[in-house]
Structure 1
Amino acid sequence: MKYIFATFLLLNTFHLFGQESAPINHELSFQFDNDLLFFDAGDRYYTNGLFFTYRQKIKEDRSWSNLFGFQSLHKSIFHVAFVSKIFNPYNLKGEKAEEIDRPYAGELYVDGLYTSYWGQNRLAVGVDLGWLGTKTRSDDIQTNLHTTFGWVRPRGWRDYQIHDTPIAHLYTGLSREIVSIGPLSLISDVDVRVGTINTNAAAAITMRLGRSQPLDASVLTHARTGERIANDRKCKELFFVTKTQLMHVFYDATIEGNIIGEPSPFVKSAEPWVWMQSVGVMLSMKTFDLQALWSFLGREVVGGRPHKYGTLVIAKRF
């Protein structure tokens, strides 16, 4: 982990001069999700997520730079991400079925996303491809990590893990800035995901308060890639953000079990409606971004509990 942060800090020490008219078309980012960012080492429910992402602005002369034919298109960005996620019950010490309120599950997948920005709108379409189950070795990763740091050893991976199954998702998301008054802006979001692991639909309202850019140039929508460099040291964005989301869950294999492959022996029922409240701060400099968010979720599992986790994102453009 320390080498990842060192790489971003090293990259940020390089300055680009004389390029005021040249956009920066590439970006690398690292995202870390964990309840440890709440200073809580309990490792409950969605306990860990790692995202390594590369983004690139698509050149205007490319045939696929405007797939949707928007007349007022500002730009389009493609990204590819390598993602790891781990889920476990509230009580890691549980060894009996009645002590386990959510199955153990590990995911590894690649996420490809194409995003277009036009007017005050953002449209994204993407696909996830990967694997869920024992072949991800999430059980060994979590067990070894907890043993190394002297944390509670998870005891249910062998008997209560979701069985191996492929991950294949289609995703689309639409965002629109509906209010912009001085330092205040409101953005509406609608997202739909369909696939072998997650099928859900969500609607959200996001509020920004502070210095922010339009959606086609904001760190909030991962749109700083492709923007031109100004020869000054002022931050481009610095704002407080809060997001309220309501999701309808049609299917969640990490809770209800896989539909492809050998059936999992231990499953639970997913709550059909899940709310999430996130708060945080976002900073965007000339070529460097930093995001810190804290998310509070309602019950995802029937009979389970609400939970929370933190998110840290570091991005470097070049």
Structure 2
Amino acid sequence: MKFKLLLSLLFVFASINLFAQAQHSTEIGVETDNDSYLLRGSDRYYTDGIYFYYRHALSTDGNDNLKNKVLGFEFGQKIFNPQAGSVADIYGVDHADLVDRPFATYLYVGSTLNLLYANESNLKLSAQLGIVGPDAFGKQVQDWVHKTFGFYHPSGWEYQIKNDPEINLSAEYNRLLARTTGVDISFSSYGNLGNGFTGAGLGFLLRLGNFNQLFNSVSTQSTASQGNKITPLHKHELFFYYKPLINYVAYDATIQGGLLETHHEAGSQEITLDKEPFIFSNQLGVDFTTNRFTFDVAAIVHTRDTKEMIRSTHQWGAITGMYRFK
């Protein structure tokens, strides 16, 4: 009798837990990027980023091959500096020749549709509307941060990329290649097309630890789900990952300025430079999920963005936190 009662209680508990997980169809969160997170005392190149996310899982009823479908909306800002946030010598005189990567800011709103399949492949489509230039408020944000936390006063923003409206589209494709206990490897790729950013990249993702399938994992931004089609490998994810990518850059408005703009006209102090066509990136990180929360902490290292950059690499840290609810 006690054994039957115990089985009944376990069944009820499992049913409640499964239902609770199935109802976590929406998540909100924030990502913050900064080169100071790596404690190297640097303030250069891609120096700061902030992103706000909203994701909601859509129904996949009637499609056995589609395990998960997630609609997302986001708002973000990226800030770029040259070799320092101040291009002044000890006498306070600005030097344009110190601008080895342009001052630039990209501000945008965007939407994503993430289609995740039973064979553990996914196609994520994205569209962004944004602006590069003074109206993206990079100078104001950097001035406020440096003043609030007692850092040096930035200078040189008069050389920043001019205002240019952006329409950018992208597609990301991932697919599982192999898996054994505690280890798997996936193919990763993306393509960008727009008047702000055009290019492509490919590489792989290696995961070590307790991870879930790619249709319900923090790795593919698919922890939100709807319905009972998904049986995760683990209740909670906790794994380390390594993601190297080879990136081809056809155009980058934060380096070259607006695609349709006329640069260096009389009176303009805008400084634009030549982009490097190929960039190699490495990302190392750790992911952890609970029934409600998702966390990602990563370190990213890029080879130089421009031919003029005095440093052969630059790096930053990224911290992301998400909260799921019904």
Which bracket does the TM-score occupy, shorter chain normalised? 0.7 to 0.9
- Which has the higher mean CA deviation after the structures are superposed, 25-34 or 144-153? 144-153
Name the SS of the counterpart of 2:28 in structure 1: strand
Structure 2 alignment gaps of length 5 or more: 1-14, 88-93, 265-269
Alpha-carbon distance in 2 for matches of 1:267, 1:73: 44
Specify the alignment match of 1:238 in structure 2.
Answer: 238
What SS does the corresponding residue of 1:36 show, helix, strand or coil? Answer: helix
The RMSD of aligned alpha carbons is 2.0
C-alpha deviation, 1:172, in angstroms: 0.5
Q: CA deviation at 1:152?
A: 2.4
Cα deviation, 1:252-299, whole Å, max 9, x if unaligned, reads 111111123453631111111001111110001111111100011111
Q: For residues 129-149 of structure 1, what are the alpha-carbon distances to aligned partners after superposition, in whole Å with 9 as ceiling and x for unaligned?
A: 011111122111102221232
Q: 1:169 & 1:149 partners in 2: Cα distance?
A: 34
Tell me what 2:10 maps to. Answer: none
CA distance in 1, matches of 2:77, 2:136: 9
* Matching of residue 308 in structure 1 with residue 315 in structure 2: yes
TM-score, length-scaled by structure 2: 0.85
Residue 299 of structure 1: aligned partner = 304
Quick check: 2:36–2:316 contact (8 Å CA) kept in 1?
yes
The question of whether the paired residues in 1 share the 8 Å contact of 2:188 and 2:203 is answered with yes
Say if 2:293 is the partner of 1:288. yes
The match for 1:152 is 152
Q: Report the counterpart of residue 9 of structure 2 in structure 1.
A: none
- Residues 216-295 of structure 1: pairs in structure 2 closer than 5 A: 216-226=215-225, 236-263=236-263, 265-295=270-300
Task: Tell me if the contact between 2:184 and 2:208 (Cα under 8 Å) persists in the aligned partners.
Answer: yes
Determine the structure 2 residue equivalent to 1:317. Answer: 324
SS of 2:16's partner is coil
- Taking the aligned partners of 2:235 and 2:67, their CA distance within structure 1 comes to 22
CA distance in 2, matches of 1:316, 1:140: 29
Amino acid across the alignment from 1:20? L
Rg: which structure is higher?
2
Question: For 1:281 and 1:170, how far apart are their aligned partners in 2?
Answer: 28
The normalised TM-score by structure 1 is: 0.87
Amino acid at match of 1:310: G
Counterpart CA distance in 2 for 1:204 and 1:96 is: 39
- Alpha carbons 2:240, 2:285 under 8 Å: kept: yes
Residue 155 of structure 2 corresponds to residue 162 of structure 1: no
State whether residues 29 and 322 of structure 2, in contact with CA within 8 Å, keep that contact through their aligned partners in structure 1: yes
Say whether the 8 Å CA contact 1:24–1:228 is kept in structure 2: no
Q: Please name the residue that 1:74 is paired with.
A: 67
8 Å contact from structure 1 (residues 20, 228) kept in 2: no
Query: What amino acid is the match of 2:192?
Result: R
Contact map agreement 2:68 2:226 (CA 8 A) in 1: no
Partner SS, residue 215 of structure 1:
coil
How far apart are the structure 2 equivalents of 1:163 and 1:93? 19
Offset of residue 40 of structure 1? 3.5
**Residues 107-126 of structure 1 correspond to what in structure 2 (within 5 A)?**
107-118=106-117, 119-126=119-126
Match of 2:16 in 1: 18
Equivalent in the alignment of 2:8:
none
Alpha-carbon distance between aligned partners in 2 of 1:175 and 1:138, rounded to the nearest angstrom: 33
Task: Give the letter for the 2:302 counterpart.
Answer: L
Q: Residue 227 of structure 1: CA displacement? A: 5.9
CA distance in 1: counterparts of 2:69 and 2:192, whole angstroms: 21
Residues matched between the structures, number: 291
Per-residue CA deviation, residues 107-138 of structure 1 (Å, 9 max, x unaligned), is 11012100111121011111010111111221
The secondary structure found in structure 2 opposite 1:113 is strand
Identify the residue that residue 179 of structure 1 maps to in structure 2. Answer: 178
Post-superposition shift, 1:314?
A: 0.3
My pick for the range that moved more, 280-289 or 89-98, is 89-98
Q: Amino acid of the residue matched to residue 48 of structure 2?
A: N
Matching residue's letter, 2:255? I
Identity over aligned pairs, percent: 28
